[in-house]
Amino acid sequence: MPGAEAPRDVGERIRRLKKELNAVILAHNYQLPEVQEVADYVGDSLELTLRAAETDAKYLVFAGVDFMAEQAAVLNPDKVVLHPDPGARCPMAAMLPRSLLLEYKRRYPGVPVVLYVNTLAEAKAEADYICTSANAVEVVRRVPSDRVVFGPDANLARYVELKTGKEVIAVPPTGHCYVHLSISPEDVEKLREAYPDAEVLAHPECVPEVWAGADLVGSTSSMVRRAGASSAKRFIVATEVGLLHRLRVENPAKEFVPAYQNAVCVFMKRITLEKVYESLRDLKHPVRVPPEIASRVAEALRRTFELLGASR
Ligand code: SF4
């Protein structure tokens, strides 16, 4: 395109601006490879949340979707969190508005509410506990109740129910991630037959028929750890295809096959290198969470860390 900068030049400008501004870039595992390349940290939402809290940078550029940038803003009130494209919104998070959660709280009085981190702050403020896919089972196991209301991913709710033996009431009952839903058990089965030596790594947002036969069911960070530690040389990866970039960079001698090559989150991919650059150059778009909501979300997170016995 005439006048457009080569990605490498944009990357160099981003690196220069990061230094000048004392900024860091946090990129989710599902981000475009070139965005992952300029990031200071690449990880899942839990890893990035912890990284965001550790850094003393003035600006945090969050290359991910809306609920992640909100979460970083809640935990870092002394920093400026920039979201390169406010249109990068997670449709699953949008499936659980605060009004629906309040309806469930009325319907199930006294039943603890555990929300997956993939939820907007307005709903998180109404939660008792907040979990990630990495610790959802452990959080629900430790909640002092045999029943919990859990949202917004119904597949993860079913996984947690199976693992804990508790009653897990999904809100909404059909909440889902369209990307993980697009991965079919038939596709995984065909790949298993084609690569009998491969390990299957599946995200619990997939349908149960996909994760039921997997060698590992877990978060993207647990997939990265497993790929590094396993003696297997080949892996079938049932999650968003962006993770394959990180897996290949960290394990150049191993082979990673996407369970479904079109498992692409178009919302994650809205964050381009150019938008990251503009975000730093013009300090746009700062994420603001109303203080009364932020303090309630922070309280639910504090309660969760306490439940897990972590001091943070
Ligand atoms: S991959 Fe799924 S859960 Fe993650 S941002 Fe995209 S739609 Fe939301």
Any ligand 1 atom below 6 A from CB of 269: no
Average pLDDT, the chain: 95
Any ligand 1 atom below 6 A from CB of 237: no
Encoded tokens for 204? 């619990």
Residue 312 pLDDT > 50: no
Q: For residue range 136-163, what is the model confidence (pLDDT) as tens digits?
A: 999 999 999 999 999 999 999 999 999 9
Domain boundary assignment for the chain: 7-89+268-288, 92-176, 183-258
Q: What is the pLDDT of residue 23?
A: 98
Residue 53 pLDDT > 90: no
Domains 92-176 and 183-258 share a fold: yes
165 φψ region: left (φ > 0), alpha (ψ -120 to 50), beta (else): left
Q: Looking at the structure, give the CATH architecture of the domain made up of residues 92-176.
A: 3-Layer(aba) Sandwich (3.40)
CATH code for the domain defined by 183-258: 3.40.50.10800
- What residue's CA is closest to ligand 1, atom 2? 177
Q: What is the pLDDT of residue 216?
A: 97
For ligand 1, what atom is nearest to the CA of residue 65? 5
Q: What is the pLDDT of residue 8?
A: 63
- What residue's CA is closest to ligand 1, atom 5? 90
Provide, rounded to the nearest whole percent, the portion of the chain with pLDDT above 90: 92
Residue 2 pLDDT > 90: no
The secondary structure of 258-299 as a DSSP string is: ESSTT---TTGGG--HHHHHHHHHHT--B----HHHHHHHHH
For ligand 1, what atom is nearest to the CA of residue 266? 6
Q: For residue range 118-133, what is the model confidence (pLDDT) as tens digits?
A: 999 999 999 999 999 9
Mean pLDDT score, 61-69: 97
Distance between CA atoms of residues 175 and 184, nearest Å: 17
Any ligand 1 atom below 6 A from CB of 177: yes
Who wins on pLDDT, 152 or 53?
152
Q: What is the pLDDT of residue 253?
A: 98
Mean pLDDT score, 102-111: 98
236 φψ region: left (φ > 0), alpha (ψ -120 to 50), beta (else): beta
Distance between CA atoms of residues 180 and 184, nearest Å: 9
How many residues does this entry show for the chain? 312
For ligand 1, what atom is nearest to the CA of residue 240? 1
Mean pLDDT score, 93-97: 98
CATH entry, 7-89+268-288, from 3.40.50.10800, 3.65.10.10, 3.20.20.70, 1.10.10.60:
3.40.50.10800
Q: How many CA atoms lie less than 13 Å away from 165 in the CB half-sphere?
A: 0
Strand partners, 168: 148
Encoded tokens for 220? 């993207």
Q: What is the pLDDT of residue 311?
A: 41
CA angle in degrees (0–180, nearest 5) for 280-282-284: 80
Q: Cβ–Cβ contacts within 10 Å for residue 195, how many? A: 15
Q: What is the DSSP letter of 233?
A: S
Q: For residue range 175-210, what is the model confidence (pLDDT) as tens digits?
A: 999 999 999 999 999 999 999 999 999 999 999 999
Q: Find the 152 Cα to ligand 1 centroid distance in Å.
A: 12
